[in-house]
Structure 1
């Protein structure tokens, strides 16, 4: 009898012990934490830009964050291609190697992943140890990359999807053979899939940006407002700098500027199957010592680029800055760097190639870095104009010139479609009304019936990024096959010494 009594006691002890174990494993009432680190628009920034960023420096910050926090998710919202020479010359192989080293969990693609033939991106995907999460792009009916990712970190089941703006079809040279699914439809579909597979937190890596370039353009804000069930959107594309996250339709939106200058850092708090808190800040990558092991991997790429591109082509008496207070000046108003580039295009067309050109024009989105004071190398010139764009001269009527500048007047401040012009142009914009108040070329008002010749790049001449607005009736087109970076290098070499200045050629009222 005592045996059975003892047996029952032991059974109850076992049952109670099991219950305690089960409860402690599930702990449904306990709040769990996860650190989100994110980057976007790195643009081949292997070494620091304006004393900020750098791949090896970023790696140090990420390592230190992991040492302090057990559960970390590291992601990127696209546009790691096209930037510094060390990256461009090696098809971003050092960038992928650095992301492998840092242990990125997921990366989506931006429009600049299609600056080169698709084969280059496919090769980059093979190099990567991380998944390219791409939910709305298909090649021959198959998803380009991995449609979504579900990863459990610290007991939190995280679902990740990736979306690239469908406008990539219009603004990227090598995206014409791909099929893009509309962004809002894709996001709604992905939320349903990820929640259906038990995701506690849904994160979208979206290369959309904050700038509504056309009435039908889907920004990250618009996506969040129209799709329920997204916890966080990690955004890219517009190179926006924010100091606190945006809150739209119960969705947090974050972004981390560009060129690895900042890493976004957020602390997620999750209770049960719901995000209950989110604290976020942009962390400037400044003052961090470069990670020694990663630097050793990157150094050969840098040395190869340096050996080929260290030829000094001229002298800058002062710095040609691209940024003022974290704002890309060329995308808002006249800039000394924009003047330099546009003047170079006009000069090369007329003086160098003996073509007729009344003025030069370049989209500010093609200008990617400033020039330092002192000796200017070919590498630094290539960093300013990293795309493989070439000089073209096109002819159009004065009426079409007016339409072109009317389009530029309508461009949202901060957008890369805003144009920089040569000194032959004087234009006055009414920003509030988005209209042209005055326009002259060569010191004379534009005449609708005259033909004008514009030195520009093939990107603009092809009507990309909205420029088709004034280029519907081109009467003449000459592709010179001269890279814009070479044109600028030749111009600086011809001048010998260059000094930054603005002269009022663009006025914004």
Structure 2
């Protein structure tokens, strides 16, 4: 008999589950002794409002995303185990146009249920924590959303007002933890009660990233410090097993104060039995973490404890299977397995779904999905040239150009009548959709013609607010030196050297409009990704000029940017909030919409104000989405040619320097 395709096989498994036949039990459930029980911790993370397998920016279905798809896997694994609990790891509230539609258009009245929460309610979550993006629309909005959930939210390192003298004295915004009583079936078929403690953590950096909403209202505590304080109390309160819902990535195995990616040191805290992590938009266990200290990929361990990271946007379902054993009244973990199970398969550039949508989840958000589609399809103007980001990391780019044009237009108006009127206005903007972890389809592409709200949301993913900063020419130079860290050092005469540093986020690659400059790739990066000086004598930025003349280090400039960068996001040297001279009431997206409406027809063609310094006999390679092929010959200031296929569906190109 031929094997069934993935969709049919999954459907059969769900059908078997529904009838109670042919269920594939986990080995722990099969071999559990009388004093043992198998417990499944099923998880999602970084949903970012993706209920449907639908890309609102591209206005088309997308098989790589959606809680409705992950829900099918959740139902499968529940059927395979007598004892399972479902948890979420945060970052569910912002991240696509449905989130913005609810926040800015529909609003949240008391008693309303947000569509992502309505969808989650259908699945019977036991608990969730907060991610950093829950705060993007303000604390009041967040609280209204949380009130609609049929499950609790926990966060142990977010305090109301000021931090107390000790973590356990903090007035936490939410409960730091809950203890859920779980009835489990043991190996002899009997039932036992297990108390599972669930504790949550958020990155402390929210105080920088959402300063305008949080300053004076809340403060954050170090994740590991908070865990060391609260976990013993959970044990004292009767928790048999403690699971950390940690919206923090997997980073250094060594703890440091207020670290953003603290999963490994957190897992090592005594009393924690398992860690559900996220924030990094990766999957663990997975090949992307090969070689990381403090991890065991084969056994799915983080800092010696069972751990999982379930991708992003519903791309995976996280699964930790625990074999628990009772000894003298106490339960302990004696064995575990971990898995990040995907909802799709990729072969080259082809994506195929492994599951169908769970219709109950889609039905819960259908009305808001339909309203979001109408919202994003509204036309606001015209563009005379295509807007795309396929080559945003290697040349001046139309998708970044239009953002800079809009920011400059807006800030010049805001400076009128102030002491800074007449100073040169520069604009710093970065490409948000530039492939990377988002995959080969994660690029902006708007054809010439009508431009709609969905296109503006595609150009500018985040609900940042505009800022103006007063800086000197020396700071402009160092700002660009930091941005240039996205490129690897290239030896003169090298052939097909990899150009892009994959550890440098594209949203920290600021392009500066209003000046011209070249980037010397033969030089090392002066700064690392945290803004630390690693090559003091390095100088990648050459020929930096304003209006054709070299920039005076002491000259004053107004820079249009956003609240994230102005508040210290990205660790740019010299970019500190004391240099902010204007805090806008408008989001950067609103600024772009207003600019397009004002202009009627925009011309986003890049002006090639930056380029790589020539290096004779040298070529580099980089990967981008295959959709960029029609635009490759038109990229200004750089010679680009196809160089075959990249990994994971990307297309590879060569640049002759």
- TM class by smaller structure: 0.7 to 0.9
Matches within 5 A, 1:179-198: 179-198=219-238
1:294 maps to 2:361 = yes
Shift of 1:130: 0.4
Shift of 1:182: 2.5
Matches within 5 A, 1:101-180: 101-140=122-161, 142-151=171-180, 152-154=182-184, 155=192, 156-173=194-211, 174-176=213-215, 177-180=217-220
TM-score for the superposition, normalised by structure 2: 0.62
CA distance in 2, matches of 1:340, 1:433: 27
Q: Partner residue of 2:456?
A: 381
- CA deviation map 1:174-203 (0-9, x unaligned): 122113233222111232123334433321
CA distance in 2, matches of 1:485, 1:448: 32
Matches within 5 A, 1:5-154: 30-48=35-53, 49=55, 50-91=62-103, 93-140=114-161, 142-151=171-180, 152-154=182-184
1:399 maps to 2:428 = no
Q: 2:375 aligns with which of 288, 308, 311?
A: 308
1:452 maps to 2:557 = yes
Q: Partner residue of 2:511?
A: 421
The farther-off stretch of 162-171 and 440-449 is 440-449
The farther-off stretch of 147-156 and 261-270 is 147-156
CA distance in 2, matches of 1:422, 1:403: 12
CA distance in 1, matches of 2:223, 2:200: 10
- Please say if residues 390 and 458 of structure 1, whose CA atoms lie closer than 8 Å, have aligned partners that are also in contact: yes
1:205 maps to 2:245 = yes
CA distance in 2, matches of 1:318, 1:172: 29
- Please say if residues 160 and 204 of structure 1, whose CA atoms lie closer than 8 Å, have aligned partners that are also in contact: yes
RMSD of the TM alignment (CA)? 3.8
TM-score for the superposition, normalised by structure 1: 0.79
Give structure 1 stretches of 5+ with no counterpart: 1-26, 322-328
Change (3 A) 1:452 1:145: same
Shift of 1:482: 4.8
Change (3 A) 1:242 1:405: farther
- Please say if residues 465 and 586 of structure 2, whose CA atoms lie closer than 8 Å, have aligned partners that are also in contact: yes
The structure, 1 or 2, with the larger RCO (C-alpha pairs under 8 Å, 6+ apart) is 1
CA distance in 1, matches of 2:446, 2:402: 19
Q: Partner residue of 1:267?
A: 321
CA distance in 1, matches of 2:406, 2:388: 23
- Please say if residues 101 and 294 of structure 1, whose CA atoms lie closer than 8 Å, have aligned partners that are also in contact: yes
Q: 2:339 aligns with which of 277, 281, 306?
A: 281
Q: Partner residue of 1:13?
A: none
CA distance in 1, matches of 2:179, 2:376: 43
CA distance in 2, matches of 1:232, 1:138: 24
CA distance in 2, matches of 1:179, 1:401: 31
Shift of 1:153: 4.3
Shift of 1:406: 4.7
- Please say if residues 46 and 86 of structure 1, whose CA atoms lie closer than 8 Å, have aligned partners that are also in contact: no
- The secondary structure found in structure 2 opposite 1:253 is strand
Change (3 A) 1:301 1:394: same
Q: Partner residue of 2:11?
A: none
**Number of residue pairs the alignment of both structures matches:** 469
Q: 2:539 aligns with which of 437, 445, 450?
A: 437
- Please say if residues 341 and 488 of structure 1, whose CA atoms lie closer than 8 Å, have aligned partners that are also in contact: no
The farther-off stretch of 362-371 and 198-207 is 362-371
Give structure 2 stretches of 5+ with no counterpart: 1-31, 56-61, 104-112, 162-169, 185-191, 287-296, 345-352, 414-422, 487-501, 529-534, 607-627, 639-654
CA distance in 2, matches of 1:215, 1:365: 29
Change (3 A) 1:297 1:447: same
Q: Partner residue of 2:444?
A: 371
- Please say if residues 67 and 313 of structure 2, whose CA atoms lie closer than 8 Å, have aligned partners that are also in contact: no
- Please say if residues 131 and 279 of structure 2, whose CA atoms lie closer than 8 Å, have aligned partners that are also in contact: yes
- Please say if residues 396 and 471 of structure 1, whose CA atoms lie closer than 8 Å, have aligned partners that are also in contact: no
- Please say if residues 171 and 465 of structure 1, whose CA atoms lie closer than 8 Å, have aligned partners that are also in contact: no
Q: Partner residue of 1:230?
A: 272
Shift of 1:358: 5.6
- Please say if residues 208 and 564 of structure 2, whose CA atoms lie closer than 8 Å, have aligned partners that are also in contact: no
- CA deviation map 1:5-32 (0-9, x unaligned): xxxxxxxxxxxxxxxxxxxxxx975432
Change (3 A) 1:42 1:416: farther
CA distance in 1, matches of 2:340, 2:313: 13
Shift of 1:163: 1.1
CA distance in 1, matches of 2:409, 2:204: 40
CA distance in 2, matches of 1:493, 1:61: 46
- CA deviation map 1:121-175 (0-9, x unaligned): 1111210100001112222553222221222242443221111122211221312
- Please say if residues 429 and 510 of structure 2, whose CA atoms lie closer than 8 Å, have aligned partners that are also in contact: yes
The farther-off stretch of 52-61 and 305-314 is 305-314
- Structure in which a larger fraction of residues adopt helix: 1
CA distance in 2, matches of 1:40, 1:349: 33
- CA deviation map 1:69-116 (0-9, x unaligned): 332221111111212222222248101111111111110011211112
- The secondary structure found in structure 1 opposite 2:311 is coil
- Please say if residues 82 and 386 of structure 1, whose CA atoms lie closer than 8 Å, have aligned partners that are also in contact: no
- CA deviation map 1:289-321 (0-9, x unaligned): 222233222111012222232124567869746
- The secondary structure found in structure 2 opposite 1:469 is coil
Q: Partner residue of 1:483?
A: 587
Matches within 5 A, 1:240-251: 240-244=282-286, 245=297, 247-251=301-305
Change (3 A) 1:159 1:445: farther
Shift of 1:235: 1.3
- Please say if residues 404 and 467 of structure 1, whose CA atoms lie closer than 8 Å, have aligned partners that are also in contact: yes
